């Protein structure tokens, strides 16, 4: 069994709590994948103090020098890709090809931000004074607290930590317990790359203790969070109360619209991939499928045929297409929503059950599930389920489709399948979502482009690409009089 202590000031340190958390394999619940500390709040404070001490020297390095550390970390992560991807699959259930893809994405993100150390960091702005030079430059925000979920245990920590570092911040990181062993492996790569002590710190433990302490600790100047809407609100309000900068990425209730002129096979494949890959556990996952009535029977028939072919099982097995839910809690949430859907009057046309045969009772497996006759007032059409559940909704035209697509509190990602250019343009303009995608699935983000949502899906900020600079730096306007 793998054991990880906390990583504070460049050293692996055990917690004084004397308690540990055992991370189990959701595909095989008697298998303990590893153990991490169940830390005390004051240990987070210690990590934050070291991060604060490390700040000045780190900030004074050139961007190029900071970039070299990220390039080194990328090389180490790449050399350990197979090992880390396998642990990810064992720890949180996504299939091995998906875990490898995510780890490779982590490598690419590190290299992207390493290069950022050599890119421009400000603008020259004309002054009304003929003898003056006016310009902007960027300053780091200081110590950044990073709170991450379990669904992308390599990519999300890296897309928060890498930009924090390249722009001159130091980091205190708290991963979700369910994916803490995989996250510790990422930190091991930073350690092997020889980052100066205190620049990156990791403290494991309960969200309500360690996450909350990141929110409350005055030495932490900025907090970046991905997770649920409920916890995001706690993080945002706590940060606001003490004047810390914050950035939140939360849920989605992402629609796919399929119009009568769409390439139906393409739309079916994208609905399955966007909705059911990673067992539906992506904030960008498709959960509502809004279909024009004239193609509804053909689309549904093709969708059902392909969903019936999905193989569910241990993500390490080469024949598995869909792994388990990450935890018993998540499995129960999904099963509860399936009951809610039935009670609300939606028609279950596929799946709906926990899988128990052929050894699957040893894990948190649920069937891919499809409801039809879903109306927009139903909870399964409004609330994030985070499971392999699709809600089909029949509409007469694009106008009705857009009304329904926008009739939720979330606005993260949305797709349309159409061959009609006017419909594409209408969708781009009228869809209330941070990511609008034409003839492509709702999930999947590119590291060099801004990522984030409208409405309740985010704090209206964006992550990744150049957008990261807005959170991880403060602008200084410089006025120089000759
Ligand atoms: N937007 C997204 O990508 C994600 C959305 N979700 C949604 O959230 C639901 C619940 O999942 P869950 O894992 O409980 O999500 P949470 O939002 O509770 O967890 C996200 C992170 O926040 C931490 N956390 C928990 N409480 C606090 C707190 N008071 N202060 C600061 N940090 C805290 C968690 O720690 P720990 O878990 O270790 O206690 C974890 O690291 C899912 O069903 C899904 O709908 C979940 C994951 C990702
Ligand atoms: O769709 C993706 O690749 C990223 C999704 C994501 O960021 C999330 O689920 O938190």
User: Given pLDDT bands bounded at 50, 70 and 90, which one contains residue 280?
Assistant: very high
C-alpha to C-alpha distance for 405 and 434, rounded to whole angstroms: 13
- Is residue 152 within 6 Å of ligand 2 at its C-beta? yes
- Give pLDDT, residue 204: 98
- CATH fold group of domain 254-446: Aldehyde Dehydrogenase; Chain A, domain 2 (3.40.309)
Q: How many CA atoms lie within 13 A of 101 on its CB side?
A: 11
Q: Is 383 a catalytic residue?
A: no
Run of H or E including 188 = helix 180-192
The Å distance, Cα 132 to ligand 2 centre, comes to 46
Note the maximum CA span of the chain.
Answer: 80
DSSP code string of 36-89: EE---HHHHHHHHHHHHHHHHHHHHS-HHHHHHHHHHHHHHHHHTHHHHHHHHH
- Taking the CA atoms of 458, 332, 238 and 203 in sequence, report the sign of the dihedral they define: negative
Q: Report whether residue 327 contacts ligand 1, using a CB cutoff of 6 Å.
A: no
Of ligand 2's atoms, which has the minimum distance to the CA of residue 443?
Answer: 1
Task: Give me the long-range contacts of 450-455 (CB less than 8 A, separation at least 24).
Answer: 451/249, 452/249, 452/412, 453/249, 453/250, 453/252, 453/410, 453/411, 453/412, 453/413, 454/411, 454/412, 455/408, 455/409, 455/410, 455/411
Q: Is 415 in the pocket of ligand 2 (CB under 6 A)?
A: no
Of all residues in the chain, what percent carry a pLDDT higher than 90? 99
Residues 354-382: pLDDT tens digits? 999 999 999 999 999 999 999 999 999 99
Q: For residue 385, give the ligand 1 atom closest to its CA.
A: 45
Calculate mean pLDDT across residues 122-131.
97
The reply to whether domains 2-250+458-481 and 254-446 share a CATH topology is no
Give the CA angle between residues 342, 250, 407 to the nearest 5°: 50
Q: Ligand 1: distance of its center to the CA of 175 in Å?
A: 10
Give the pLDDT confidence score for residue 1 in this predicted structure.
78
Extract the tokens encoding 429.
């303009």
> Tell me: the pLDDT tens digits for 299-336?
999 999 999 999 999 999 999 999 999 999 999 999 99
The one catalytic residue in 43, 249, 384, 441 is 249
Rounded mean pLDDT of 153-179? Answer: 98
Q: Give residue-wise pLDDT tens across range 389-426.
A: 999 999 999 999 999 999 999 999 999 999 999 999 99
3-state secondary structure of 202: strand
pLDDT band at 100 (very low <50, low <70, confident <90, very high): very high
228 lines ligand 1 (CB under 6 A): yes
CA dist 365 and 331 (Å) reads 7
The two structure tokens encoding residue 96: 């091995």
Kindly give the distance from the C-alpha atom of residue 298 to the centroid of ligand 1, in angstroms, as a whole number.
38
Any atom of ligand 1 within 6 Å of the Cβ of 212:
yes
Q: What pLDDT shows up at residue 371?
A: 98
Res 37: pLDDT = 97
Ligand nearest to the CA of 225: 1
User: Does the pLDDT value for residue 134 go beyond 90?
Assistant: yes
* Ligand 2 contacts CB of residue 410 (under 6 A): no
pLDDT in tens, 49-91: 999 999 999 999 999 999 999 999 999 999 999 999 999 999 9
Nearest CA to ligand 2 atom 7: 283
- The fold adopted by the segment(s) 2-250+458-481 is Aldehyde Dehydrogenase; Chain A, domain 1 (3.40.605)
Q: What letters, b where the CB count within 10 A reaches 16 and e where it falls short, cover 429-450?
A: eebbbbbbbeebbbbbbebeeb
Instruction: Give the pLDDT confidence score for residue 482 in this predicted structure.
Output: 84
Q: What is the predicted pLDDT for the residue at 308?
A: 98
The residue contributing the CA closest to ligand 1 atom 48 is 227
Q: Which ligand is nearest to the CA of 249?
A: 1
* Nearby residues of 238 by Cβ (< 8 Å), 6 or more positions away: 212, 215, 216
Cα-to-centroid distance, 119 and ligand 2 (Å): 26
What Rg, from alpha-carbon coordinates, does the chain have? 23
Given a cut of 90, whether residue 245 has pLDDT beyond it is yes
Please give the mean pLDDT across all residues of the chain.
98
In this predicted model, what pLDDT tens digit does every residue of 138-148 receive, in sequence order?
999 999 999 99
Q: Which of 6, 156, 177, 211 to mutate to test the pocket of ligand 1 (most atoms within 8 A of CB)?
A: 211
**Where do the structural domains in the chain lie, given as residue ranges?**
2-250+458-481, 254-446
| Global pTM exceeds 0.80 | yes
Separation of CA 210 and ligand 1 centre (Å)? 12
Report ipTM (2 d.p.): 0.97
């Amino acid at each position: 069994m793998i054991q990880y202590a906390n990583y504070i000031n460049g050293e692996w340190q055990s917690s004084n709590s004397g308690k540990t958390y055992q991370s189990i394999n959701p595909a095989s619940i008697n298998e303990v994948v590893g153990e991490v500390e169940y830390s005390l709040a004051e240990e987070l404070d210690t990590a934050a103090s070291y991060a604060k001490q490390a700040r000045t020297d780190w900030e004074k390095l050139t961007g190029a020098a900071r970039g070299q550390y990220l390039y080194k970390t990328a090389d180490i992560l790449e050399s350990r890709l197979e090992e880390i991807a396998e642990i990810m699959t064992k720890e949180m259930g996504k299939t091995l090809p998906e875990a490898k893809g995510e780890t490779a994405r982590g490598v690419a993100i590190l290299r992207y931000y390493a290069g950022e150390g050599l890119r421009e960091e400000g603008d020259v702005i004309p002054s009304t004074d003929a003898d003056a030079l006016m310009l902007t430059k960027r300053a780091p925000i200081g110590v950044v607290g990073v709170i991450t979920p379990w669904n992308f245990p390599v990519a999300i920590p890296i897309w928060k930590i890498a930009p924090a570092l390249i722009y001159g911040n130091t980091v205190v990181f708290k991963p979700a317990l369910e994916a803490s062993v995989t996250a510790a492996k990422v930190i091991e790569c930073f350690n092997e790359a020889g980052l100066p002590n205190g620049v990156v710190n990791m403290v494991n433990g309960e969200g309500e203790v360690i996450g909350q302490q990141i929110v409350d600790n005055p030495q932490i100047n900025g907090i970046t969070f991905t997770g649920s809407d409920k916890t995001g609100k706690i993080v945002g309000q706590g940060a606001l109360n003490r004047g810390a900068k914050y950035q939140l990425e939360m849920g989605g209730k992402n629609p796919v619209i399929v119009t009568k002129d769409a390439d139906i096979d393409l739309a079916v494949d994208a609905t399955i991939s966007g909705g059911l890959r990673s067992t539906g556990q992506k904030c960008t996952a498709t959960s509502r499928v809004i279909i024009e009535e004239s193609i509804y029977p053909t689309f549904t028939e093709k969708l059902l045929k392909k969903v019936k072919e999905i193989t569910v099982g241990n993500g390490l097995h080469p024949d598995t297409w869909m792994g388990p839910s990450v935890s018993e809690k998540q499995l129960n949430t999904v099963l509860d929503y399936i009951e809610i859907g039935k009670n609300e009057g939606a028609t279950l046309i596929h799946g709906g059950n926990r899988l128990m045969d052929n050894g699957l009772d040893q894990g948190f497996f649920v069937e891919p599930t499809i409801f039809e006759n879903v109306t927009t007032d139903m909870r399964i059409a409004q609330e994030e389920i985070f499971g392999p559940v699709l809600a089909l909704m029949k509409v007469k035209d694009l106008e009705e489709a857009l009304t329904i697509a926008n009739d939720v509190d979330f606005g993260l990602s949305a797709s349309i399948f159409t061959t009609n250019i006017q419909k594409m343009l209408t969708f781009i303009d009228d869809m209330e979502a941070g990511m609008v995608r034409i003839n492509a699935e709702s999930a999947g983000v590119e590291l060099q482009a801004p990522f984030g949502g409208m409405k309740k899906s985010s704090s209206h900020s964006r992550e990744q690409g150049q957008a990261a600079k807005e959170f991880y730096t403060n602008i200084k306007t410089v006025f120089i009089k000759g």
